[in-house]
Structure 1
Amino acid sequence: MKEIEDIKLYTIQEIADMLKVHPLTMQRKVRKGIIKGVKINKSWYVSSENLKSFLQGNTTGMESKSKK
């Protein structure tokens, strides 16, 4: 985790470990805009605020899949 001006930034790997999913799953969500992230150099980072918003379901890019 990085901290820039009191903003906590998590790497894709850190988030994947926390949520027990594959890092590529999280990377795809960030690239598609489902989770708001920022690319610094060659790595993607997600702020703790954006991660919290995603976990609460407050993203605009998220699609729900229903079984019929």
Structure 2
Amino acid sequence: MTNNNFYGKLGEKNEGDKKFPITVRYGTVYFTVKDMVKWLPVKASTIDKYLRSGKIKGRKFGKKWYVTRENFYRFLEGK
């Protein structure tokens, strides 16, 4: 499987103002903390805290957190 990076707006190919790289593996879109900082009015340390506490559901691989698009949407919707 190859690692495909592309630019998108919340996981969709888009020419909008907020462009950032997202990683797609096995058909799933993942956001990193760096990606989420661009969308949320909080610091990276706050997002790290949310991830560690389970407020945002994600997985840690090595030193980086990855959050699926679905879990990021759930967090944004307050679910």
TM range (shorter): 0.7 to 0.9
Runs of at least 5 residues in structure 2 that lack an aligned partner in the other structure: 1-21
SS in 2 for 1:18: coil
Q: Which one has more relative contact order, counting CA pairs under 8 Å at least 6 apart?
A: 1
Query: Which 4+ runs in 1 deviate beyond 2 A?
Result: none
Task: Could you tell me which runs of 5 or more consecutive residues in structure 1 were left unpaired when the two chains were aligned.
Answer: 59-68
RMSD: 0.9
Q: TM-score, normalised by structure 1?
A: 0.79
Identify the structure with the greater helix proportion.
Answer: 1
Identity over the aligned pairs, expressed in percent? 33
The count of residues paired between Structure 1 and Structure 2 equals 58
**Higher strand proportion:** 2
TM-score by length of 2: 0.69
